[in-house]
Amino acid sequence: MPCGTEHVAEVGSRKPRPIHIRDTVPVRARLAGIMNISATILLLLAGFALLLGGGELLVRGAARLAEAMRVAPLVIGLTVVAFGTSSPELAVSIASA
């Protein structure tokens, strides 16, 4: 059968007529699907913005910590920032175990 169509015979007719899946889905269900996609895209963009903001805060905080402790920024970069970027992987590994 072609993609998403069926042939249904009408009463009193020998020739089947095609019915498309789109015709059987109510309008409310189609709108709910569109709203679901919109909400997903909105949440994706919000998550991306929060990720960028969090990364910026991490880098600025690490730079201030290096200045306050009078430590070379390279050392802070190798420790604090490395831990901050690896901690999500650590959390996923612990959660999956």
d(Cα 11, Cα 24) in Å, to the nearest integer?
A: 19
Partnered with residue 75 across adjacent β-strands are: none
> Residue 33: its pLDDT value, please?
67
Give the residue numbers spanning the domain of 65. Answer: 5-96
* Residue 53, pLDDT above cutoff 80: yes
* Residue 7, pLDDT above cutoff 60: no
Helix (H, G, I), strand (E, B) or coil at 16: strand
- pLDDT category at 74 given cuts 50, 70, 90 is confident
d(Cα 97, Cα 68) in Å, to the nearest integer?
A: 38
**pLDDT: is 52 or 77 the higher one?**
52
- Into how many domains does the chain fold? 1
* Residue 68, pLDDT above cutoff 60: yes
* Residue 51, pLDDT above cutoff 70: yes
Mean pLDDT over 58-63 rounds to 82
Closest by CA to 20, choosing from 1, 36, 4, is: 4
d(Cα 56, Cα 50) in Å, to the nearest integer?
A: 10
